[in-house]
């Protein structure tokens, strides 16, 4: 019996150290809803004849950036084709577009973007911006 005592102690120690850990509960990730509003308008009066050959094209977009697989999915976009600056409304008649978007709170980011291309007497220029939407709502202004 004395020769089995060390073996018995070893078995008891090993079995007591191998206690089963309770499974970790996986909680589903929260979906959040965000409101993104775009406002498009002319910042000044372009009715002067000087602006007859001044055109602008606007591209707006919403995308979800997936942090787990590093992919980007465009969920909405629109384009206002080249038109004279005077054809864009003034601020009191602005174009407003509201979008409600859902995404996963911790593994996805909502991103808004705008690109404005100008053609003024044949001279092209472009400005483009984009930013994340960290809070529940975001107003994105496009003034020409």
Task: Give phi and psi for 111, each to the nearest 5.
Answer: -130, 135
Q: What is the mean pLDDT of the chain?
A: 87
| 141 vs 38: CA distance, rounded Å | 6
pLDDT of 110: 93
pLDDT of 94: 93
In the block, which residue shows the tokens 């073996």?
7
pLDDT of 63: 96
pLDDT of 50: 87
Classify burial at 81, counting beta carbons within 10 Å of its beta carbon; exposed 0-12, middle 13-18, buried 19 or more. Answer: exposed
Average pLDDT over residues 116-124: 94
pTM: 0.76
Task: Give phi and psi for 56, each to the nearest 5.
Answer: -145, 145
pLDDT digits (tens, 9 = 90+) for 8-57: 676 766 666 556 677 777 778 889 999 999 999 998 989 888 889 999 99
Choice among 8-12, 64-68, 88-92 with the minimum mean pLDDT? 8-12
In the block, which residue shows the tokens 């977009």?
61
Could you tell me which of 25, 39, 21 has the C-alpha nearest to residue 91?
A: 39
């Amino acid at each position: 019996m004395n020769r089995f005592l060390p073996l018995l102690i070893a078995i008891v120690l090993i079995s007591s150290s191998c206690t089963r850990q309770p499974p970790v509960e996986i909680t589903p990730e929260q979906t959040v809803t965000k409101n993104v509003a775009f406002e498009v308008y002319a910042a000044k009066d372009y009715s002067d004849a000087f602006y007859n050959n001044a055109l602008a094209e606007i591209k707006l977009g919403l995308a979800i950036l997936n942090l787990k697989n590093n992919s980007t999915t465009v969920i909405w976009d629109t384009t206002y084709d080249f038109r004279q600056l005077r054809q864009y409304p003034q601020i009191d008649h602005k174009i407003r577009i509201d979008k409600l978007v859902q995404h996963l709170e911790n593994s996805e980011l909502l991103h808004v973007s705008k690109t404005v291309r100008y053609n003024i007497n044949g001279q092209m220029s472009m400005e483009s911006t984009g930013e994340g939407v960290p809070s529940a709502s975001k107003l994105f202004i496009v003034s020409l």
